[in-house]
Amino acid sequence: MNNRINIIKEEILSDNWYTLKKITFNYLTKKQEWQTLSREAYDRGNGATILLYNKQHKTVILTRQFRLPTFINGNDTGMLIEACAGLLDKDSPEEAIRRETGEETGYIISSVEKVYEAYMSPGSVTEKLYFFIAEYTTDMKTHTGGGVDDEEIEVMELPFEEAMAQVQNGQIADGKTIMLLQHLALSGIM
């Protein structure tokens, strides 16, 4: 526990989709003065993301889907190219990413490699994201993918170099995807 923080009050502002809380707390500054502060935090649970890659063909599997927050923040179409990802729900990160990979991409993978964990927007969102990579082959594809229920996910197989060029020209603007593509490049995998 951090003895410089004392939570005074937690209020639920919204519990519609996930939970938005307003937290009022005392914070002991470096000057040894207590300050009362208030912040909002959005709790949507932790998640996992994966980048599938094929060394032989030098390709990666990405997805494209509509993301409302990007649309209201200047993405004209709202469509975002991303690495496969999803919430853990009650599964371990490894189990969750295998499930999400099958649902979203149609590829059934057995072996995943964890590369790191990161908080993606720690100023306002509680989510920790677990990052994975896995090699795929064409025989691992068992169905078309596209998500479940009301998800409309397009599965894309791109040459790795094209994906990296799309990062440079802004077509790929998703942080987790950029991080995973750069991991493959920096580690010498692709």
Q: Are residues 19 and 58 in the same domain?
A: no
Helix or strand holding residue 180 (H, E): helix 175-186
Q: What is the pLDDT of residues 145-182, one digit of tens each?
A: 877 767 789 999 999 999 999 999 999 999 999 999 99
Q: Are residues 60 and 26 in the same domain?
A: no
Q: Are residues 88 and 150 in the same domain?
A: yes
Return the pLDDT at 110: 86
Domains: count for the chain = 2
CA distances in angstroms from 81 to 7, 105, 177, 180, listed in the order given:
39, 13, 8, 13
Q: What is the pLDDT of residues 106-120, one digit of tens each?
A: 999 989 999 999 999
Say yes or no to pLDDT of 1 above 80: no
Return the pLDDT at 151: 76
pTM for the predicted model, two decimal places: 0.92
What's the rounded Cα separation, in Å, for the pair 35 and 29? 7
Return the pLDDT at 17: 86
Return the pLDDT at 143: 85
Residue 11 or 148, more confident: 11
Q: What is the pLDDT of residues 29-79, one digit of tens each?
A: 999 999 999 999 999 999 999 999 999 999 999 999 999 999 999 999 999
Q: Are residues 83 and 58 in the same domain?
A: yes
Q: What is the pLDDT of residues 71-107, one digit of tens each?
A: 999 999 999 999 999 999 999 999 999 999 999 999 9
Q: Which residues are 28's β-sheet partners? A: 34
What is the domain range of residue 164? Answer: 47-186
Say yes or no to pLDDT of 3 above 80: yes
Strand locations in the chain (E): 5-14, 19-28, 34-43, 47-54, 59-66, 79-82, 84-87, 113-119, 128-135, 154-159
Say yes or no to pLDDT of 13 above 80: yes
Mark out the alpha helices in 47-159 (DSSP H runs): 68-71, 93-105
CATH of the domain at 145: 3.90.79.10
Q: Are residues 124 and 139 in the same domain?
A: yes
